[in-house]
Amino acid sequence: MASKKDAKKNAESAVPYIRRVLEDEYIQEQLRSAASGLGAVYRRASRQGGQAAEDKRLYGNLRQAATSIRKATTALQRPKPQPKRRGRKIATAALAAGSGALLLFKRQKANSESQNDPSASHGGGSETRSQSSQRTPEPESATSPSGG
């Protein structure tokens, strides 16, 4: 004999299933379909008596009712799927890819600038064109070639 604790535990474990049956339209539709199919099977079998075992329409109704019951129990057992958060994954992947591309771009730019800049490779010993044009001309020597 089951104790009161066991009965209470069983009743509490059935609550989520009962709530799903009451709230889920698909499960209710399948149960209605199964009930109407079983009703048709009962009426047909009671009218035909012993010949009901050979009735193809009766077996069709019975098969339809069994399929509806199976669909209802499958839907009842399987929890509703949680929505997938694909947007977050895509945004994270795009951010990572963008950051990686930006880093590569900056590295390539820095490498190309260091190769094109001769002052960076020669230790700053050569002058650029703008620096040489700003230089003052050297004074000519005191002796002039005209000798005069």
Provide the 10 A C-beta neighbour count for residue 89: 10
* Domain of 55, in residue numbers: 9-77
Question: Is residue 43, in this structure, part of any structural domain at all?
Answer: yes
User: Tokens standing for 24?
Assistant: 């889920």
Claim: this prediction has a pTM higher than 0.75:
no
Question: Is residue 34, in this structure, part of any structural domain at all?
Answer: yes
- Residue-level pLDDT at 99: 92
Q: Round to whole Å and give the CA distance between 76 and 70.
A: 10
- Residue-level pLDDT at 5: 85
**C-alpha 37, offset from chain centre:** 41
pLDDT tens column, 50-72: 887 788 898 999 999 999 999 99
pLDDT tens column, 6-53: 888 888 888 888 888 888 899 999 999 999 999 999 998 888 888 877
Question: Is residue 119, in this structure, part of any structural domain at all?
Answer: no
Question: Is residue 124, in this structure, part of any structural domain at all?
Answer: no
Q: Phi/psi of residue 126, each to 5°? A: -95, 155
Residues 67/33, Cβ–Cβ less than 8 Å: no
The amino acid occupying position 95 is L
> What value does the CA radius of gyration of the chain take, rounded to a whole number of Å?
45
Question: Is residue 93, in this structure, part of any structural domain at all?
Answer: no
Which positions ≥6 away from 113 have C-beta within 8 Å?
A: 120
Question: Is residue 133, in this structure, part of any structural domain at all?
Answer: no
Question: Is residue 39, in this structure, part of any structural domain at all?
Answer: yes
Q: Round to whole Å and give the CA distance between 72 and 27.
A: 5
The domain total for the chain is 1
pLDDT tens column, 69-113: 999 999 888 666 677 777 888 888 899 999 999 999 898 888 888
Question: Is residue 40, in this structure, part of any structural domain at all?
Answer: yes
- Residue-level pLDDT at 84: 76
